[in-house]
Amino acid sequence: MAETESSLNLPTRVLLATRDLADRTVASTPARMAIFAFAVVIIFFSLMLWLPISSADGRAINFHHAVFTATSAVTVTGLTTVSTATQWSFFGQLMILIAFQIGGLGTLTMTSLLAMAVGRKLGLRSKLIAQEAMNIGKLGELGSVLRTVAMTSIFFEAAIALILIPRFLLLGEGLGNSIWHGIFYAVSAFNNAGFTPHSDGIVPYGHDLWILLPICVGVLIGSLGFPVILVIQQHPFKFNRWNLTTKLTIIGTVSLLFIGMAFWGLFEWSNPKTIGELGFLDKLLNSFFASIMTRSGGFNLVDMNDANPITLLITDVLMFIGGGSASTAGGIKITTITVVILAVIAEARGDQFVVAFNRTIPDSVLRIAISVIMMSAIIVFIGTAAIVFITGESLDRVLFEVISAYATCGLSVGLAATLPPSCIYILAALMFVGRIGIITVATGLALRSRRRLYKYPEERPIIG
């Protein structure tokens, strides 16, 4: 047997070893399988971007840049250490597009879709994993839901691309470039990836509603989450028929959109470095655009280095909250912060239960929400402290970059491109944890599931 294994080439031996590792340890739980799947996809695209063919100059890029870009793409973040437009060849940009398309839908969802496409039946473990990844209630609905997810993604991305392509043609780009740029922006927007194929991003189109509005719509719809999109498709304009997750997500999204727009516009209204010298309508447009992008989109019309410190702080908060559950957006999720706010309101009123839309929210959900917020804050603190210690950079700039990475937002003050490799790997790890979800990571890394068959006596400590 040893002679047979030694006769195999290196890639085959690595593949067999990886499969054995997955069978023995990783695939034992859906959480571990999610971690393993994302890690494998990131490694694959890191190697693809490391190839000389992926670079515009035909020379292999430093490996830490390849790893960072691949991680940023698969986690649909959008942070970059090198220019997407000038560093990567068409092949490299294509790899990045495929990476954030897979990352947006989720590696487990893509795997399930591919299995069904070739006529394979999903096993029970695969169904359970996909069910958890997509937050699907009934296991029997998995196949139809996955197909609907795929068709929904294709529909929105194609619609946005068909709107953008004629505009790029009218702006003087060639047919090939117009098609490529339209598709790239469409997929990047719907998946909240924030990557741009232009060296100066979408800044030159800051007054062009034909380009900005489709991108805004794509980011906004993608940030709602597939469970919410599916409910709205089934019961359009029937608020009473929506489940609690959909109601909380829609109300939270609209509220944060207008709150973010108001505060961002208020503090940047007179800033000559950002929007201070623009007209009234352009100021409103920039504020609206920024409010959408700060929660996950990652596109920007102004240099964040020129924004006021209070604006950066508000952006930190919006990025940390993020978008909807099971969506292409990052952050702790809208439902998480909404549940905690409802609990605070209930406590202030003296209510015994946390209630929303005539539904009682279980204590277990509140405990999970608090855990997500606390663990996320700890992760952000550790990442920020580590980078500040290594580089000596100012706290506000490091905190902004760390939250953007963990919340998979992609907005940047330009710090990532100047960091040493050690800090680049720290940001990559933050993006990885942020995309998978801190609860999934904690569950996946747990050695065993604890279940007590007994309960200790209660005692109430003094709080506050």
Condensed to tens digits (0 to 9), the pLDDT of residues 270-283 reads 999 999 999 999 99
- Please answer whether residues 160 and 217 qualify as being in contact, where contact means their C-beta atoms are separated by less than 8 angstroms: yes
Distance CA 191, CA 100 (A): 7
Which pLDDT belongs to residue 1?
A: 44
Which pLDDT belongs to residue 152?
A: 83
Which pLDDT belongs to residue 111?
A: 46
- Please answer whether residues 295 and 319 qualify as being in contact, where contact means their C-beta atoms are separated by less than 8 angstroms: yes
CA angle 81, 86, 89 (to 5 degrees): 105
Please name the residue that has the structure tokens 């950066």. Answer: 312
- Burial environment of residue 238 by CB neighbours within 10 A (0 to 12, 13 to 18, 19 or more): exposed
Token code pair at residue 232: 């709205």
Query: Which stretches of the chain score pLDDT less than 70?
Result: 1-31, 106-146, 439-452
Distance CA 304, CA 335 (A): 28
DSSP output for 215-283: HHHHHHHHHH-HHHHHHHHHSTT-GGGS-HHHHHHHHHHHHHHHHHHHHHHHHHTT-TTTTTTS-HHHH
293: enclosing H helix or E strand: none
- Please answer whether residues 289 and 301 qualify as being in contact, where contact means their C-beta atoms are separated by less than 8 angstroms: yes
